[in-house]
Structure 1
């Protein structure tokens, strides 16, 4: 930069020759006086990934695509939420607390194109598909000079008091759930896209210097670079090292030069003017040990999610010196190794230096120029320039040839899992409890999952008054295995194991699986599934497609659902019932007969919450219908009808004698139904009734229900023919 300043001054004072003299004089002044004060450093590898919130922290300017930490520039206090739940009657309620926060993070001191992945404490918060793994509202401000104030910040700080941060790209997180991060704001890093494609070091230098440095031929591309440091000069030095470049005066400005193309040929210094110094050596070669034997270059590796990668190259021969170079740019392993080769090659070539003396007519050969020397092989860069008594002395260093691309491996990559979340799939139904509990109020079961493997949970709200009021229910249980019927199980019997029939289901995604179970596991409750409205168990699960499974070895009509056997249709629900994925919701008795509405909101539900509903019929609190209805003649034309009661608990029939009563009393309501529409109602306290001969005239249908503590069972029917037919 001193060269630039003095060159401009020289041109103003003395025309073209003055400009050349000014540029040469500028080379005498230590460039660091203007560009890099003592102790000032450019970007380091570790600094870019650290999230800060300190005043005065330099804000990086992102070029290409780069992973950076950002700086928290605004935040709210923690937002506390409470939810209360109970495990059932007689159990104490549990109050759970959750926390969230809203905050803004500055990402770049220049406009950007967008943001890709986001990491929180090293784990993906936002995947490459743009899906968030944790619930949050997210807005991105690209840093334009016309960007508006963020509405959340304006609402919190007041209109007129919230800055728009124009010229600064920043992200706003609204109500980020903090449960996964120890109830604190996590350390965030962002894949910031400053430009849509890789950017050359020359273009970056030109942008940072606001045009004071021309890009020239510094074309080394970088996939990403974050300009971060105490001065522009320190960053330019870093870029020059990355591109094997140097700075040279060109006209009235400074150019970032690279490569080895010669601009002109100069003489070999045979002519000296009278009075010029003599005895200066024309050629000097430094010892091999003066250059490193090994160069190790550290960088941000694209294949390692921008984690630090190392590439080393080693030359043969003498020497013990090893140089380690930090290049805080995003490049792949092959580019890093190629750059290390170039650094080593430039060091070896630079051992040879030449001094030539020329007449004053060669004043236009300025420091930084590339020349060939008559009779000497190679291309040389002018590094020193002096004029004494109209004799021009040039110091030159040999330039290395171009470096061919080198292949390299980034090593083993342990990337953070990027599993797509997908949208929520939820099923809610009422059935007898799966733990043989005797309920005094209705209970519904909620099973939820997602359309992709990354789905974890969804927040729940429910309403019993058609949406007039909504009650928070916390979050869903573990993801369940769910799908849709691709073929039907047909009709069957709940009394025997069905080894003949099978049916097929399409699960929600290909990574979801089912397992087979032996009879002992089935007896313990394994592989219980809701198929349409029927609960059944299956012993054999066979995968026959990416998402399709064939289920056989069926135990039908479990827990009193035999009435639903054969009533399924293609596309009906399939839900595997497991303890860890089934969430129970106990409702008041007043909910009987009401519609339960449910809203589920997961991180992937970008189109809004998923809604479902179920009628609370009391299935969970009434006994199953009686079974094994039989009739026999009892004399004089009368018919004796008997049946077997069932219970809400004791489904495993562990004692082999009788199932528990399960109700406060044993009682049945019996209805006789005739073809002419007449009916007759009676009540009994034992599982039998006598139909008189007169009531059998023309045949009669008998319907019996068990009266439970909380309501009546479904009815079971039997037809009794005319006793005189």
Structure 2
């Protein structure tokens, strides 16, 4: 109001010059009288949270950006019952739920939607493939769009809103099984424009044409115009991009960087002016720019630039824009550089002709490099004093990394591959009952998990057994390794395995890493470790530097066959299932959306997970009188680590052994002992014998250690 009054009064008194002076004075009065409250611009945290509250602003989306949206309509949950059984079998009723709802996405028209996330996981992939059953319709926000048919059917044709000018999505009967029977928190990759947009174009659209795009910098991959006022949206964007407003008739023109200029010496300046340098502590020590990074599925990221020297103030900018890490880093560096350069101000005295130079215009000073921006203007006694700030260079792409990121996978699941087996217990403790390990994966990288069922009666009945663990690295043996000793590193043999898909990888390990348990795998029935894994292409790998027969599985060395199983033993990728003592055949079934009928495996339990390993170093010591001493060394299922100066723990209630002597002719003899040796007379072994030594455990006998003693006449004793 003061601008209008003083402009009119000045024009009546002083003509055009008086009108210009009156207008400038009126603008200053207006700014003081009608000073707005502190602006509230968009916050990144608000844009990623789905809401359903009345009065929640709906953003205007530009470019491509991930938006949570607001639920604007929903039905009650719909219950679905499924009865199974009957005809002699128990009848079970299972329940599932679905819901239909609409989500507002943008307060301006869009051209499409890409990926959709539900609770952070992909509900729709980049190829528009759905990961859960649902109906879906997208309304692009045109001014001529009609009501959605589902909403019209539920609310009535005369009461159903069309939401013209607002883009929204409608889900019909979304299966809520994977989301805890509730509507999940959704976010959408909204595509509002076919390409990048500039800051000037965004400001022009938000201001409804009252701002001329000018030469404001860009491009920006995506932006969400979200805030309590137009100024709250425009001002942080303009400042971050290094632009400033310039009066252009009844509109504002955005200027940025260098451009057409005026020499202050053309309007009466006689020198470079008075120089003022602000204290360095007025410049932030660092500038931090928060933004959305398209390379991180539009997750919020922060890039920071800092300067050397005193100070600890950090200026934080929340920019609801999609920028890559380098562009955001460049903005932070440019803002910091601009603040440093604008410490220097020039006060230049000119004559009345400088009244035509408005704040925001570019000028040059003779003998000084670069251009300057008019930041203040004063008139006294027909002399104009200009306050100038140096114009900083435009932002440039900087070297930056977005950091570590684990995206939600967008891959097909493929078929389930299931392996179940019993091996010696892999932990340091002891088991009280046999335990089966289950490893599962898929033929494609998108496979995640499957539900497990177990049958102890050959498939007559099945009991739920939880779910599989994380996808295991799994495959088949193409070329098995040969026979080798378990006591030495096997540098002669090698194995070739083929993994299920290209997303599975193997890695090398040094001796120290292998000593800590790295690269442990089940190849057939043998546990081994490998130090070198060489990729051969087509998901095939050559394994070298083998440590054979780990955890007491040396009896399986050399028995693997082509086409046999290969499973990496890794923490978090195996599911264990305890079975009753004495169980024999156990059937395991895995069921997933890609295998609705299930994949089965049968495990024949031998108790190896809860019995001691076989004794080692079994040897026969011949005495002069023809007798022989059999000695051996026990092992423990609870002490696999080598400890200098200490024996391995017993791990059982008592130390006992069973020695079975099988003569070349005659009846086998079983001897029980509590020490790791027995003595045999010449009569007991003279015709030659086979000896099997087993250690007794709390839950059964160990596998045997075997030695053959030839007939007495062949020994030379």
Q: Does 1:368 align with 2:360?
A: yes
Determine the structure 2 residue equivalent to 1:48: 47
Determine the structure 2 residue equivalent to 1:57: 56
Matches within 5 A, 1:496-645: 579-581=588-590
Matches within 5 A, 1:676-691: none
Determine the structure 2 residue equivalent to 1:286: 278
- Deviation per CA, 1:610-666, whole angstroms, max 9, x where unpaired? 999xxxxxxxxxxxxxxxxxxxxxxxxxxxxxxxxxxxxxxx9x9xxxxxxxxxxxx
Confirm or deny: 8 A CA contact 1:4 1:253 kept in the other structure: no
Q: How far, CA to CA, are the matches of 2:162 and 2:5 in structure 1? A: 36
Q: How far, CA to CA, are the matches of 1:59 and 1:144 in structure 2? A: 16
Determine the structure 1 residue equivalent to 2:93: 95
Q: 362, 370, 375: which is aligned to 1:383?
A: 375
Q: How many pairs align?
A: 479
Distance 1:81 1:8, change over 3 A: farther
Determine the structure 1 residue equivalent to 2:200: 202
Q: Does 1:316 align with 2:308?
A: yes
Determine the structure 1 residue equivalent to 2:675: none
Distance 1:298 1:371, change over 3 A: same
Q: How far, CA to CA, are the matches of 2:298 and 2:6 in structure 1? A: 41
Distance 1:269 1:144, change over 3 A: closer
Structure 2, gaps ≥5 residues long: 417-440, 451-466, 473-497, 506-521, 527-535, 541-559, 565-585, 598-603, 607-717
Determine the structure 2 residue equivalent to 1:245: 243
Q: How far, CA to CA, are the matches of 1:2 and 1:255 in structure 2? A: 22
Note the C-alpha offset of 1:25: 3.4
Determine the structure 2 residue equivalent to 1:307: 299
Distance 1:452 1:137, change over 3 A: farther
Q: 155, 158, 166: which is aligned to 1:157?
A: 155
Q: How far, CA to CA, are the matches of 2:131 and 2:562 in structure 1? A: 38
Determine the structure 1 residue equivalent to 2:73: 74
Distance 1:512 1:344, change over 3 A: closer
Determine the structure 2 residue equivalent to 1:341: 333
Confirm or deny: 8 A CA contact 2:137 2:169 kept in the other structure: yes
Q: How far, CA to CA, are the matches of 1:7 and 1:313 in structure 2? A: 44
What secondary structure sits across from 1:160 in the alignment? Answer: coil
Q: How far, CA to CA, are the matches of 1:380 and 1:299 in structure 2? A: 30
- TM-score normalised by L of structure 1: 0.58
Confirm or deny: 8 A CA contact 1:478 1:580 kept in the other structure: no
Q: How far, CA to CA, are the matches of 2:132 and 2:4 in structure 1? A: 52
What secondary structure sits across from 2:367 in the alignment? Answer: coil
Note the C-alpha offset of 1:15: 8.3
- Deviation per CA, 1:292-318, whole angstroms, max 9, x where unpaired? 122222211222222221212121233
Distance 1:333 1:129, change over 3 A: same
Please identify, of 181-190 and 37-46, the stretch whose mean Cα deviation from structure 2 is larger. Answer: 37-46
Distance 1:101 1:238, change over 3 A: same
Over aligned residue pairs, what C-alpha RMSD do you find? 4.7
- Deviation per CA, 1:505-536, whole angstroms, max 9, x where unpaired? x99987799x98569xxxxxxxxxxxxxxxxx
Note the C-alpha offset of 1:136: 0.8
Q: How far, CA to CA, are the matches of 1:182 and 1:7 in structure 2? A: 65
Distance 1:178 1:203, change over 3 A: same
Q: 132, 135, 138: which is aligned to 1:137?
A: 135
Determine the structure 2 residue equivalent to 1:37: 36
Q: How far, CA to CA, are the matches of 1:183 and 1:517 in structure 2? A: 42
Distance 1:7 1:75, change over 3 A: farther
Confirm or deny: 8 A CA contact 1:201 1:240 kept in the other structure: yes
Q: How far, CA to CA, are the matches of 1:37 and 1:255 in structure 2? A: 21
Determine the structure 2 residue equivalent to 1:395: 387
- Deviation per CA, 1:542-572, whole angstroms, max 9, x where unpaired? x99569xxx98899xxxxxxxxxxxxxxxxx
Confirm or deny: 8 A CA contact 1:4 1:252 kept in the other structure: no
Matches within 5 A, 1:350-369: 350-369=342-361
Q: How far, CA to CA, are the matches of 1:8 and 1:211 in structure 2? A: 26
Note the C-alpha offset of 1:143: 0.4
Confirm or deny: 8 A CA contact 1:117 1:190 kept in the other structure: yes
Q: How far, CA to CA, are the matches of 1:388 and 1:163 in structure 2? A: 60
Q: How far, CA to CA, are the matches of 1:43 and 1:452 in structure 2? A: 41
Confirm or deny: 8 A CA contact 2:269 2:348 kept in the other structure: no
- Deviation per CA, 1:366-417, whole angstroms, max 9, x where unpaired? 0110111233333111111223332222221122234442110011111122
Distance 1:512 1:411, change over 3 A: closer
Determine the structure 1 residue equivalent to 2:120: 122
Confirm or deny: 8 A CA contact 1:225 1:328 kept in the other structure: yes
Determine the structure 2 residue equivalent to 1:440: none
Distance 1:518 1:374, change over 3 A: closer
Distance 1:457 1:167, change over 3 A: farther
- Deviation per CA, 1:665-709, whole angstroms, max 9, x where unpaired? xxxxxxxxxxxxxxxxxxxxxxxxxxxxxxxxxxxxxxxxxxxxx
What secondary structure sits across from 1:148 in the alignment? Answer: coil
Determine the structure 2 residue equivalent to 1:181: 179
Structure with larger RCO (C-alpha < 8 A, sep 6+): 1
Q: How far, CA to CA, are the matches of 1:6 and 1:253 in structure 2? A: 19
Determine the structure 1 residue equivalent to 2:620: none
Distance 1:23 1:200, change over 3 A: farther
Confirm or deny: 8 A CA contact 1:2 1:31 kept in the other structure: no
Confirm or deny: 8 A CA contact 1:263 1:371 kept in the other structure: yes
Q: How far, CA to CA, are the matches of 1:32 and 1:450 in structure 2? A: 68
Q: 220, 229, 232: which is aligned to 1:231?
A: 229
Distance 1:70 1:10, change over 3 A: farther
Distance 1:411 1:146, change over 3 A: same
- TM-score normalised by L of structure 2: 0.58
Confirm or deny: 8 A CA contact 2:4 2:23 kept in the other structure: yes
Confirm or deny: 8 A CA contact 2:268 2:351 kept in the other structure: no
What secondary structure sits across from 2:44 in the alignment? Answer: coil
Q: How far, CA to CA, are the matches of 2:154 and 2:333 in structure 1? A: 54
- Deviation per CA, 1:169-216, whole angstroms, max 9, x where unpaired? 000011111111111111111111111111110110011111110011
Distance 1:170 1:582, change over 3 A: closer
- Deviation per CA, 1:262-302, whole angstroms, max 9, x where unpaired? 42111298779xxxxxxx98221111222112222221122
What secondary structure sits across from 1:130 in the alignment? Answer: coil
Distance 1:385 1:413, change over 3 A: same
Q: Does 1:166 align with 2:164?
A: yes
Structure 1, gaps ≥5 residues long: 273-279, 426-448, 459-476, 482-505, 520-542, 556-576, 584-601, 605-609, 613-651, 655-725
Confirm or deny: 8 A CA contact 1:450 1:508 kept in the other structure: yes
Q: How far, CA to CA, are the matches of 1:240 and 1:65 in structure 2? A: 19
Q: How far, CA to CA, are the matches of 1:81 and 1:316 in structure 2? A: 65
Q: 239, 251, 261: which is aligned to 1:263?
A: 261
Q: How far, CA to CA, are the matches of 2:56 and 2:288 in structure 1? A: 30
Please identify, of 187-196 and 394-403, the stretch whose mean Cα deviation from structure 2 is larger. Answer: 394-403
